[in-house]
Structure formats: C-alpha cells, structure tokens
Amino acid sequence: MASQTPTDPAATSAAEPQTLPDRTNPADAPQGESKNAAKKAAKLAKLAADKADKANKPKQPKQPKEGKQEPKKAAKKKDSGKELIGIDVEKESDFPEWYHQVLTKGDMLDYYDVSGCFILKPASYFVWEEIQNWFNVKIKSIGVKNASFPLFVSEDVLQREKDHIEGFAAEVAWVTHAGNSPLEKKIAIRPTSETVMYPYYSKWIRSHRNLPLRLNQWNSVVRWEFKNPTPFLRTREFLWQEGHTAHLGEDAARAEVLQILDWYSDIYEHLLAVPVVKGQKTDKERFAGGLYTTTVEGYIPATGRGIQGGTSHGLGQNFSKMFDIKVEDPSNKPGEEKKPPLYVWQNSWGLSTRTLGVMVMIHSDNKGLVLPPRVAETQVVIVPVGLTAKTTAEEREKLNAEIEGLAAVLQAAGVRVENDQRDGYSPGFKFADWELKGVPLRLEFGPGESAGHFVSTARRDIPGKEGKGSIPIPELGTAVPALLETIHRDMYNRANEQFTTHRKVIEKFEEIVPALNDKNLVVVPFCLAEDCEDQIKKETAKKQEEISQSGPEDVKAPSMGAKSLCIPFDQGIGGAEITAETKCINPKCTRSAQKWCMFGRSY
C-alpha cells in the first residue's frame, strides 16, 4: 500500500479517531458496500480532508508577495445539489479551484513556499518517468545521446544571440552571491540551453565527420515569470527535455524537426490519450532566434482554450553563425580553391511537464483525477467487498488469499496493481479515495464474486452503471490488459470528439468572438503577417470588452484576444482550399490569405 499520501484518509485519524471504524472491534467493522455506507464514508472523507487542509494551510510555508500562489478558495458551493466527493467545487463552475484540488487531493502535486515552484509528488513524477522512458528509446534509435550541461550561464555568453535573449531577458534569474561573498560577475540560471551548449558545439564540431551532433538533456530550467503561476502550465522552474542538434544540411535538419514533432504527438496521443494538432507557428509566435517552429497544440474543453504542447524548432544557421559553428565544405578537392566554410543547420526541441497539466485538465472530473492507463502508476486497484460483521476471520482470510492470487495474476500480465487491504475503512471510502487518485480500473471482490468465479469491474473514466462490468477469473490476465487499452482508446476518442467539435472553421471576422465565447478554437484564412496577427488579437479582445458591457453574464467571460496557435500541417482542416482569391480573415487587412490558421484563446 502506498502510505505516503496526504489525501490518504488515514491522514486525519489523529484529528478524528472516533469517526473511523476500528477493525479490532467486530461490531464496528466495515459495512459492506451499501449506498449509505459509501455516502457516509465519502462525507467523512470530505470533512476530514477539509480539516486537514485547514490545519496545514497556514502552518508551514509563507507565500512571498509577488505573484499569487494558491488560487483563492471559492466559497463552498453545493452548485447543483449534487454530492461532491473530495473535490468540493465543480470543474464547470470554478475551473482554477477545481484544478488546484484535483492536483493536491489527487496526490499529484503540492504548492511550495517559493512562489511559482511546485512539488511533483510520486504520482505525477511517475508519469514523467514513463514519458522519459518512452522518448529515450525513440531518440536513442536515431542516434541522439543524453548528456548534462551546467545550470549556469555567464552573462556574456547568454547575451551573445540578441534576438534570442530578448525573448528571455525579463525572466532570467540571477545568482549574485555565494555565501556572503558577492560574485565578481553575476551568473544566470539557464532559461533554456542554446547559449549554454553552442560555444561547445563550436569547439567540438571540427569536420563534417562530427555531424550530425545530437544531444539531449533531461533537466530543469528557470523562467521567472511574473504572471500568475499555474501548476505544470506556468511555473518558474519546470522539468523538461531539451534536444540540441547540428546537421550538415538543411534537409536532414528539417527531417529531424518533423520526426521529433511526430514523437511529441505520440506522447500526447499514445501515452496521455490527448489529441493534438500538428503545425507550424506563425512568425510572430516562433522561437526567439530560430528560423521556424513546429508545434503540437492541444485544447482544454473546460475553458475552451488552446495550449501549446511541445515545440520542435528549426534554428537554421542563425545560432551557428553567432557561435561560429562551421565545417570545411566536404566537397573541397585537394589542389582546388577552397569553398567557403559551411555553417551547420541546428535544431532544438523541448517537451516539459506541461504535458501532465494538459492530461489532468482534459480527463479529470468532479470526483478527482482520471489517469490514462498507460502512464498511471497504479493501473488497477482491487478492493475487498461484501464483508459484514458476520463474516468470520477464516472467511476474511480466504478472501484475502484469493485477492492476493488475483493480484499475482495481474502482475504476471504486466499490470501495475494495488491490493487495498487497509484495515478500518469501508469499501465506499476506498472507492472514493481511489477515484480521487484517478486509478483507471477498480476491481471489486467479495464472497459473491468468489462463489461466482468472477471479479466486478468499475472503470474510472465512465461513472455510474455504464462503467461497471465483470470478468470471469480465468480470463483476468487477458481481459484486464485489454480493458485498460479500451479505456485508453475511449478516453482519447472522447477528448478528440471534444476537440474536433470545438474547432470551428470561420470565414467571417465577426463570428470569431462568439465562437471563442462558446469555447471554440477557430480555423481561419490568414495572411500570416505579424502586424495583422497583432490586430486580430487586439480586435478580438476589444470586441469582448464591448460585449461584456451588455450584462453580468458576459462579464464573467475572459476578455483575452485570440492568438494564433499554429498553421496546421493538415490544411484539409479548413475544408475548402485557400486560393489566390481567398482574403485574409481580418477585414482591415487587404492581403490574400496564405493558409488556414488555428487561432484561439490560449494558455
């Protein structure tokens, strides 16, 4: 049993020992799974969690003043009169508070006393490790090697590439002292490692035979943002991988950019059950100092906002010229005049723990986390059920032995399974606890199941009766892995359905804001020019302000303007083809449209 969890109901036993049944007293033993027992247990859990929460909040870490850390507690709502287990706000009514509770009560993350920094607890770090394992195999298959470069970068080197540093300057954290001694020169903490690594690429790459040079590192970077932090999505320190490669030719570089982007897409779709759209960033949105940026873009249905999921940049020769990374032309022949040296073509690509935030925002619900099965640390939990005060000790022992057998079968089939033998908790309590933690599949096993040679199943992704079923014991080792795959597919399909139905092709400018207000992203014909993009953002934000004067209902809607998210590779997304006659969506723009471009409010 994982015992290190603050949301473990046992955590509150010190505060309220008398409310928890004690297994040593048979009269007070767990009460089977009657609806009332489950409800009672859930209420206790909520009460206890609230108390623990209050007890903890003010005690330890103080919040620094700049940047608000934890979202304000919304007044407790019993919105629709529905019973709220563990999570005490609804995703639909207070998304930020819901997100906060799902992460903390679901045991993924905790808030830290340095604003903008967060603790990744084992449940979330496990998902990150799964992503690491999967991606390492892929990149190593094409010859990328892992390495480790320092956390620090000197001021001189950091500022060598002007456009690049401009993109980060305001967010760079500076070390100025060691102990009580001021440093001779202040030293930056890397916001990304282009400038950390490329002086050495210049040193190491002496000939075309040293190419391609392909290094990756798993590390953390620091960007001291002053906007409100959001766990996983906007944090001052975050974990990521950053790949940095150098190629002799443009084509090889481009092929790699796209290969990596495909793998980023696979991480979202195949591991996290999250659909994404692949495309290229507009000039306005591309990486500072780079040539072009490709991206995978996701969609958060609850807020109707787009979210950048990972970027793979073609840097061109910009950095190689700045950092003098060049080789002799291999086509030079002895005796002939030498051609000019060739500057290498570089790429950089990064994927961060933002992945985890997207996964949680999309799948989770008002009962807590819903984890996609391929990356869930615990894929299946077995809960003993149907025990009453009349059950004898031998019957209990027999049942537990059977359950251990079931767990062994599943482990042998490669399933990550927990056997919840905790004393002193009713099945209903345990159900709610595991639902909070998002375990994809619950198996229930009691005297009835034992007699009938089956296990009862309850899917986390489908609440209520529809998600229930049973599996004959002899089929357990094959049926459970198959069911986990079905859960993955269904989770993906539901998220994809949400995404596709909320991606509106729009050709009239005035339809953009209403579409955004209906939580859509929009796909519009666009000229691709930067000034036009600025104008669209401004106009869609302004329109919003105008609308919001009309009534209190609209005031709640965000006034954020639409940003370009990407130019989808699949231009079929726009339906009709862009022709020379297609005008840019912006009525104030006189240019022709170049591409269908996806716009939206975004993170």
Smallest gap from Cβ 90 to a copy of itself, in A, equals 26
Smallest gap from Cβ 322 to a copy of itself, in A, equals 12
Which of 200, 292 has the CB closer to a copy of itself?
200
Does 390 sit near a copy of itself (CB under 8 A)? no
Does 166 sit near a copy of itself (CB under 8 A)? no
Which structure tokens are listed for 590?
């006189």
Angle at 385 between CA 380 and CA 389, to 5 degrees: 155
In degrees rounded to 5, what are phi and psi of residue 519?
65, 35
Q: How many CB atoms lie within 10 A of CB 507?
A: 16
Does 132 sit near a copy of itself (CB under 8 A)? no
| Site residues (CB under 8 A) for a copy of itself, limited to 221-280 | 222, 224, 226, 237, 239
Contact segment (CB under 8 A) with a copy of itself among 202-210, 289-297, 403-411, 565-573 equals 202-210
Calculate the dihedral angle through the C-alpha atoms of 314, 319, 321, 324, rounding to the nearest 10 degrees: -120
Q: How many CB atoms lie within 10 A of CB 58?
A: 8
Does 56 sit near a copy of itself (CB under 8 A)? yes
d(CA 530, CA 454): 62
d(CA 105, CA 112): 15
Contact segment (CB under 8 A) with a copy of itself among 199-207, 257-265, 457-465, 475-483 equals 199-207
Contact 416, 376 (CB under 8 A): yes
Which of 102, 566 has the CB closer to a copy of itself?
102
| Site residues (CB under 8 A) for a copy of itself, limited to 139-158 | 145-154, 156-157
Secondary structure, 3-state, 512-567: HHHHHHCCCEEEEEECCCHHHHHHHHHHHHHHHHHHHCCCHHHHCCCCCCCEEEEE
Which of 12, 366 has the CB closer to a copy of itself?
12
Helix (H), strand (E) at residue 595: strand 595-600
| Site residues (CB under 8 A) for a copy of itself, limited to 11-50 | 11-15, 17-18
Q: How many residues bind a copy of itself (CB under 8 A)?
A: 91
Smallest gap from Cβ 464 to a copy of itself, in A, equals 31
302 contacts: CB under 8 Å, gap ≥ 6: 91, 92, 95, 361
Which of 201, 299 has the CB closer to a copy of itself?
201
Environment class of residue 308 by beta-carbon count within 10 Å: exposed (0-12), middle (13-18) or buried (19+)?
A: buried
Candidates 276, 327, 381, 410; binder of a copy of itself (CB under 8 A) is 327
Which structure tokens are listed for 177?
């002292």
Candidates 3, 36, 392, 550; binder of a copy of itself (CB under 8 A) is 3
Does 171 sit near a copy of itself (CB under 8 A)? yes
Smallest gap from Cβ 266 to a copy of itself, in A, equals 22
Which of 248, 513 has the CB closer to a copy of itself?
248
Does 302 sit near a copy of itself (CB under 8 A)? no
Which structure tokens are listed for 507?
């050709």
Smallest gap from Cβ 548 to a copy of itself, in A, equals 32
Contact segment (CB under 8 A) with a copy of itself among 326-334, 453-461, 513-521, 549-557 equals 326-334
Smallest gap from Cβ 318 to a copy of itself, in A, equals 18
Query: Site map for a copy of itself, 102-131, x if CB under 8 A?
Result: --------x-xxx--xxxxxx--xx-xx--
Closest to 350 in 3D by CA, of 197, 540, 180: 197
Does 172 sit near a copy of itself (CB under 8 A)? yes
Query: Site map for a copy of itself, 57-96, x if CB under 8 A?
Result: --xxxx-xxx------------------------------
Q: What are the start-end ranges of the E strands in 380-533?
A: 380-384, 417-419, 441-445, 454-459, 468-472, 503-505, 521-526
Smallest gap from Cβ 269 to a copy of itself, in A, equals 25
Which structure tokens are listed for 574?
């726009």
Smallest gap from Cβ 448 to a copy of itself, in A, equals 29
Closest to 355 in 3D by CA, of 296, 418, 398: 296
Query: Site map for a copy of itself, 571-600, x if CB under 8 A?
Result: ------------------------------
Q: Which phi-psi region, left, alpha or beta, contains residue 290 (left: φ > 0; alpha: ψ -120 to 50)?
A: beta
Contact segment (CB under 8 A) with a copy of itself among 206-214, 269-277, 412-420, 504-512 equals 206-214
d(CA 259, CA 139): 10
Residue type at 127 in one-letter notation: V
